[in-house]
Structure 1
Amino acid sequence: MFFIDTVEVPGLGNRSYLAGGAGRAVAVDPPRDIDRVIEAAARRGVRITHVVETHVHNDYVTGGLELARLTGAAYLVPAGARVSFRRVPVADGDRVEIDAALVLRALATPGHTPHHTAYVLAEAGRPVAVFTGGSLLIGTVGRPDLVEPGLTERLARAQHASAHRLADELPDETAVLPTHGFGSFCSSAQAEGDATTIGKERIGNDAFVKDADTFVAELLSSLDAIPAYYAHMGPLNAHGPESVDLTPPAVADAEEIAERLAAGEWVVDLRSRIAFAYGHVAGSFNFEADGQLATYLAWLVPWGKPVTLLAESAEQLAYAQRELVRVGIDRPAVAATGSPADWIREGERLRSFPRATFTALASGDTDVERVVLDVRRTSERAHAHIAGSLHIPLHELRSRIGEIPHGTVWVHCAGGMRAGIAASLLDAAGREVVAVDDAFDSARAAGLPVMES
């Protein structure tokens, strides 16, 4: 009997897999923090003999090279990928025996990247699952625009063809196991559900229900902003990532925190947006540890700038470190745990700002000078927005704060998390701000003029 274990990476909207049988296993698209994969193998009592990559990833730093080094596994990477390390190049049709009954077959599925490869797991000659990486996702496909703008349309057409190849070659009952699509920005649309098969995708995936021209046109028109840190992930993975160090960082006292702020470094408060609004170190930024920390911090911070982490506990700090190494923020410069009172020098005061709902925004004094700021992505605002609101996507906010008119800024997003980040950026810049911590769906019910496209 075979097994397939899923290693969730919810902060990035990704999944990795460990699949095997009697004593041997293969790891597919492993995350940077490989200890979880090793622990999964230990629980199963199997040896990892192969590590495979479906493609050179653009949204996270792989743990594949390190996992192969530590376990002695063969490291399989698509032959077309240009990398700087030794690996086993994989071509279309190549087969690898996992155990006496399990075979992994490579299937070229270009589209997400030119070299993308899916892997079909067969037991006794019968396909049971296909690891589709960023090719065929649940209800959608991976983005074709992350490699080179000039290749985007060609890769979009390749995505359509690759999806059809998978469906043509595999039985309907074959489980489809993608890496992306659970909130990942590598997905061209938000996936629905968490399990699927080739048969289900035949009737519900746009790649099957639409002809190639329609599919490509709609896919290209739906592409959204690309997180800035993606530009660094591909090169890091192609070069070969270094080992990670998850030991606690050096401890900073209040004096050092102040000095780092004065030097223009990023001091990141990991507490909840509620706690941050109530009281925080002036100049610090709020990225909640249990939000999409890795995605948004890596997207907004200038690449390579030192980051200081402020956490409520050692556990919260360790969690954040693990999240951040996955996107190449390998070591905090320093860190501190405790409460804001521990992080400021004697005589200094904490900053704070109010939180509110859309009902409060609607009932507020209209004679007061205020600005309603929408920090959602362009694609979100295209569906509906508050009439008269200013739109600056969160990832553009720091460079465009000067465009915001005078007045108190009421900042909102779709649910509150990004508004909290934006409010902290505005507060650090000296603006009067109110964080609208509410679901955008409540705006119309609150009596605000919501315009739909």
Structure 2
Amino acid sequence: MFFVDTMETAGLGNRSYLAGGRHSALVVDPPRDIDRVIAAATRRGVRIALVVETHLHNDYVTGGLELARVTGAAYLVPAAAPVSFDRVPVADGDTAPVDEGLTLRAMATPGHTPHHTSYVLEEDSRPVAAFTGGSLLIGSVGRPDLVEPRLTPVLARAQHASAHRLAAELDDAVPVLPTHGFGSFCSSAQADGHTTTIGAERARNDALVKDVDTFVAELLAGLDDVPAYYAHMGPANAAGPDPVDLTPPARADAEQIARRLAAGEWVVDLRSRVAFAEGHVAGSFNFEGEGQLATYLAWLIPWGRPVTLLANTAADVAHAQRELARVGIGRPVAVATGDPRTWVRTTDELRSFRRSDFAGLAAARERGEQPVILDVRRDSERRAAGAVVGSVHIPVHELPKRLHDVPGGEVWVHCAGGMRAAIAASLLDAADREVVAVDDGFAAAEAAGLTIAAPAAGAPDSKTGTAPAAA
């Protein structure tokens, strides 16, 4: 009898898998922090015999090489993946024993990358699970545009063909177990549900229900911005990542925090956006420890810039350090915890700003105020849900380099739910701008009486940050 355990990496929107039988198991697309993979295998009482990669990942640093070294497992990597370390090269149709009666079979499924490979777990020669990585996802497929722009149309067509190959060769009841699709920007769309099968995807996945030309046209039209840190993940994984360092960083006092800020380093406050708005170190940035900390911090920070973390507790720091290590942000140079008043030399170095909601913004307009309304959602979100008429649009990941594009005056900043607005508000506050963070869901904007329109009907040009006159 076989088992499959799912290991979530919620902050990055990915899944890894431990699967096997009574004595030994395999691991698919392991995260960098391999201690939790080893713990999962220990709970099962199995030996990790195989570590397999579906592709060179663009959205996180793999723990595969180190996991294989520590456990003595064979490390299976697609043969065409350009890596510089020893591994077992895998080609289409190759098989490897897992446990008594269990075999793993490689199936070439290019599209997300040229070398992408899915793996089919077979019990007594019968397929019982398909680990599809960034190929066939739950209701969608992996993005084809993360390797090389000139390859994108070719890889999009390959995604369509790979999805059809999986559907043709596997029975409807076979579970589809993807790595991406749960929040990762490696996915062309997010998962529609938590589990799926070949049969369920056959009935609803665009790659399987639409002809190739329609599928490719719609897939390419819907591609969103790529996080900047993705440019560093592929090379790191190809070179062979170093073991992760999760040892506690050095403590920082108020004087050291001030020095690091003066040197242009990043001081990141992990506390809730409510606590940050109420009082924070001037010049620090707010990236909440819960949620998509790694994605957005790695996206915005100049790569390689030293980071100091501020948090309520040491446990909060440890959680954040683990999250950041997964995307190649090294050990923080310093940390401070506890009362924010101990993080500054004088209370004058503590700042605060207002928080409100869309009803508050509407009330300000009714009073005749004319604040700058800054929308920091992505282009695709603004197109899909509309925008507050007259708002300036600068996606949050562009804001650090475009602060000069924000018009003068008080700035009310919003996103779709509040988290990114808090990040943007902290960036503006650090630049000495008067800011109000709108902590509200965008659906409340129209209910509050604000006029919502499609971007073409009066929204600003996101490339210039200027708003054309409303019709």
TM-score (norm 1): 0.99
Aligned to 1:120: 120
Kindly indicate whether the alpha-carbon contact (under 8 Å) linking 1:143 and 1:187 is maintained by their aligned counterparts in 2.
yes
Aligned to 2:140: 140
1:243 maps onto 2:243 in alignment: yes
| Paired letter, 2:34 | I
Residue by residue over 1:179-215, the C-alpha shift from the partner in whole angstroms, topping out at 9 and shown as x without a partner, is 0000110000121111000000000100011100000
Aligned to 1:438: 440
| Paired letter, 1:337 | T
1:332-347 matches, within 5 Å, as: 332-346=332-346
Aligned CA RMSD, in angstroms, stands at 0.8
Aligned to 2:399: 397
Aligned to 1:294: 294
1:395 deviates by 0.3
Give percent identity, aligned residues only. Answer: 72
Give the distance between the partners of 2:191 and 2:89, measured in 1 at CA.
31
Aligned to 1:170: 170
| Paired letter, 1:156 | A
Give the distance between the partners of 1:443 and 1:110, measured in 2 at CA.
42
Kindly indicate whether the alpha-carbon contact (under 8 Å) linking 1:370 and 1:406 is maintained by their aligned counterparts in 2.
no
| Paired letter, 1:435 | A
Give the distance between the partners of 1:66 and 1:190, measured in 2 at CA.
29
1:8 deviates by 0.4
Aligned to 1:353: 353
Aligned to 1:47: 47
Give the distance between the partners of 1:121 and 1:434, measured in 2 at CA.
53
| Paired letter, 1:130 | A
Aligned to 1:411: 413
Structure 1, unpaired ranges of 5+: none
Give the distance between the partners of 2:415 and 2:59, measured in 1 at CA.
23
1:348 deviates by 3.1
Change (3 A) 1:369 1:120: same
1:399 deviates by 0.7
Kindly indicate whether the alpha-carbon contact (under 8 Å) linking 1:353 and 1:433 is maintained by their aligned counterparts in 2.
yes
Helix, strand or coil: the match of 2:120? strand
Residue by residue over 1:359-411, the C-alpha shift from the partner in whole angstroms, topping out at 9 and shown as x without a partner, is 00001145334100000000000121111100000000011110111110000
Helix, strand or coil: the match of 1:396? helix
| Paired letter, 1:308 | T
1:349 deviates by 3.5
Aligned to 2:387: 385
Aligned to 2:93: 93
**Which moved further from structure 2: 219-228 or 329-338?**
329-338
**Which moved further from structure 2: 113-122 or 338-347?**
338-347
Helix, strand or coil: the match of 1:430? coil
Give the distance between the partners of 1:407 and 1:80, measured in 2 at CA.
54
1:48-447 matches, within 5 Å, as: 48-346=48-346, 348-365=348-365, 367-383=368-384, 384-447=386-449
| Paired letter, 1:68 | A
Kindly indicate whether the alpha-carbon contact (under 8 Å) linking 1:314 and 1:337 is maintained by their aligned counterparts in 2.
yes
1:350 deviates by 1.0
Residue by residue over 1:240-294, the C-alpha shift from the partner in whole angstroms, topping out at 9 and shown as x without a partner, is 0001111110100000000000011000000000000000000000000002100
Change (3 A) 1:125 1:347: closer
TM-score (norm 2): 0.95
Give the distance between the partners of 1:339 and 1:427, measured in 2 at CA.
20
Kindly indicate whether the alpha-carbon contact (under 8 Å) linking 2:135 and 2:142 is maintained by their aligned counterparts in 1.
yes
| Paired letter, 1:339 | D
Give the distance between the partners of 1:229 and 1:95, measured in 2 at CA.
34
1:238 deviates by 0.2
Helix, strand or coil: the match of 1:92? coil
Give the distance between the partners of 2:316 and 2:338, measured in 1 at CA.
11
Give the distance between the partners of 1:347 and 1:38, measured in 2 at CA.
46
Give the distance between the partners of 1:275 and 1:179, measured in 2 at CA.
34
Give the distance between the partners of 2:443 and 2:339, measured in 1 at CA.
34
| Paired letter, 1:314 | A
Give the distance between the partners of 2:162 and 2:452, measured in 1 at CA.
41
Helix, strand or coil: the match of 1:348? helix
- Number of equivalences: 453
Structure 2, unpaired ranges of 5+: 456-471
**Which moved further from structure 2: 24-33 or 337-346?**
337-346
Helix, strand or coil: the match of 1:215? helix
Helix, strand or coil: the match of 1:411? strand
Give the distance between the partners of 2:58 and 2:408, measured in 1 at CA.
39
| Paired letter, 1:141 | V
Give the distance between the partners of 2:190 and 2:181, measured in 1 at CA.
6
Kindly indicate whether the alpha-carbon contact (under 8 Å) linking 2:341 and 2:347 is maintained by their aligned counterparts in 1.
no
Give the distance between the partners of 1:311 and 1:436, measured in 2 at CA.
23
Give the distance between the partners of 1:396 and 1:242, measured in 2 at CA.
30
1:347 deviates by 5.1
Change (3 A) 1:320 1:368: same
